[in-house]
Structure 1
């Protein structure tokens, strides 16, 4: 049987201007009652942002359970890339390990005990860099356990440790030469796509923080733990966001929350390359994915995914 959630494990929430989605997330957190919440919010871009972000912030002053709340609210808007990454760094200055949500992520109840157990189990295993709540395998079970290992890094409802995040760099210029897509079996079929994503990041064309985390884990040879059930749902595609509003994103329709009643360890700690290729083929080949993340060079990236360049 899967163990219960350890409420001593801290949770970080990145909020902004989505009161409805934040309330739904807090309703799920209320069920497990974590004892420490960290809250990060970027500064407003407009008067409307101010009103909405104040509405969201007030929710954390009125929690229904006994909880220590620490806040990191920006006065000026610095953008999602720096706000989120610096907020996570602040979180791990205070915590050895923890769970991270953005405000458009809705976890299932089984997410919490699963992640709690994995954080403890792999706390000192350097090869594990990330615990994911996401599963993009469309019901296909991978391996012989309740979870499998992936070379990809998933950041929609996830958890990690200070030992991993301490190597994170928002600016990849001093690390870019160490990123090797060609010799990683999971990335190799899509290496031209990823090389161009890296180039666009270095040129400042993509404002995000999670690609850097994925590339850090690639450099370090770390892998992710991925449940064989999808334990989170992204509920933010049809609302105003700091990224691109796009209901055609290939993962926007994955609203069904999976369950995990037992936790069986895989017999081997090997990356499931078939799962990683399946995920990338389905996700990267969907026009909605690039429209969501990338403003420029979309046509080139489509060609790279199809192997035309």
Structure 2
């Protein structure tokens, strides 16, 4: 049985929630926190879909202390996640967090549990990610993971004190809306972001009020970077994001597939020191540029056809295009250092 608490964040997708709950069932956590948003008044089928999702969440059939935070009305993704995690971390000192479309492979829970314990008292480490975002395995050497400036939240874990430090400097309460609120300006520490595209992306996120393009996760990462924290990025993908359908809140991309969940292998091989991996960080920033950079944003606005979008994604993420992007980025970095 897993002793680390698990938080499952859901809304109105009962089928995806059922699959994610099945993965959690295999780990049998002793504590499960269920955070579910309420129906939108502008969507007539939401009430039924939200009810069906909550019915799925009641299918906890192993010995488990279940905590529920079910919203009566729709809070929206930003508020549901942030206020939900505030509620979780007011009760426990650490947690593994899965949204309803993040399906974890069997290794993820043990991996997260071990690293949460290993770095519990190391305040340099803020996040444990289970998604590798397709970063090549060779960049990790013999290690099971690397330290980076940010990491995916498609299956992740953290500690209450880190989350609460974030919320102290980012105290958005959603009472007057979702506009970002900061008590300390977001200013990533020098050297954490290693590409110009990454620096530009997070500078735009820090200045933006667009909570669709730059949501709660970007602000979490900005706080980490500002306070000098690091994330853990795994050498293999252990959580697959399957929520690309028409019912997705942000990532609508029918036909898109994430990297399948794989085995990381135990015992874990730990890096020799807690320090940024420039090679892995560069690759993560290239991924971010391909999916969330200016060109990608413009392409989504121009290409309305799902077929054309799929073709564009395939071309951009091809091995040849990825290698070219990597080469040009490294060339630009050498030019700036010269």
TM-score interval, normalised by the smaller of the two chains: 0.7 to 0.9
Partner of 1:280: 285
Alignment of 1:158-237 (within 5 A): 158-167=156-165, 168=167, 169=170, 171=172, 172-175=180-183, 177-180=185-188, 183-186=191-194, 188-201=196-209, 206=213, 208-237=215-244
Alignment of 1:1-309 (within 5 A): 7-45=2-40, 46-136=43-133, 137-167=135-165, 168=167, 169=170, 171=172, 172-175=180-183, 177-180=185-188, 183-186=191-194, 188-201=196-209, 206=213, 208-247=215-254, 252-286=257-291, 290-291=296-297
By how many angstroms is 1:277 displaced?
1.1
By how many angstroms is 1:120 displaced?
0.6
Aligned pair in 2 of structure 1 residues 114, 50: CA closer, same or farther (>3 Å)? same
**What are the superposed Cα offsets for residues 30-51 of structure 1, whole Å, 9 maximum, x if unpaired?**
1111111111111101331111
Aligned pair in 2 of structure 1 residues 28, 61: CA closer, same or farther (>3 Å)? same
**What are the superposed Cα offsets for residues 87-110 of structure 1, whole Å, 9 maximum, x if unpaired?**
001000000001001000011100
The structure with higher relative contact order (CA 8 Å, sep 6+) is 1
By how many angstroms is 1:190 displaced?
2.4
Over aligned residues, Cα RMSD in angstroms?
Answer: 2.7
Aligned pair in 2 of structure 1 residues 233, 177: CA closer, same or farther (>3 Å)? same
Residue correspondences, number: 290
- Uncovered stretches (5+) of structure 1, i.e. residues with no partner: 1-5, 297-304
TM-score, L = length of structure 1? 0.84
Cα distance in 2, alignment partners of residues 85 and 214 from structure 1: 14
Aligned pair in 2 of structure 1 residues 166, 229: CA closer, same or farther (>3 Å)? same
Q: Is the 8 A contact 2:146 2:235 kept in 1?
A: yes
Aligned pair in 2 of structure 1 residues 121, 181: CA closer, same or farther (>3 Å)? closer
Which is richer in helix?
A: 2
By how many angstroms is 1:132 displaced?
0.6
Q: Highest CA radius of gyration, 1 or 2?
A: 2
Q: Is the 8 A contact 2:171 2:181 kept in 1?
A: no
Which stretch shows the higher mean deviation, 39-48 or 96-105? 39-48
TM-score, L = length of structure 2? 0.78
Which stretch shows the higher mean deviation, 173-182 or 259-268? 173-182
Cα distance in 1, alignment partners of residues 50 and 152 from structure 2: 26
By how many angstroms is 1:60 displaced?
2.4
Cα distance in 2, alignment partners of residues 190 and 274 from structure 1: 13
Cα distance in 2, alignment partners of residues 15 and 264 from structure 1: 33
Secondary structure of residue in 1 paired with 2:282 = helix
By how many angstroms is 1:278 displaced?
1.3
By how many angstroms is 1:177 displaced?
2.7
Cα distance in 2, alignment partners of residues 189 and 239 from structure 1: 29
- Uncovered stretches (5+) of structure 2, i.e. residues with no partner: 173-179, 303-327, 333-338
**What are the superposed Cα offsets for residues 60-102 of structure 1, whole Å, 9 maximum, x if unpaired?**
2232212121111111212111110110010000000010010
Q: Is the 8 A contact 1:82 1:170 kept in 2?
A: no
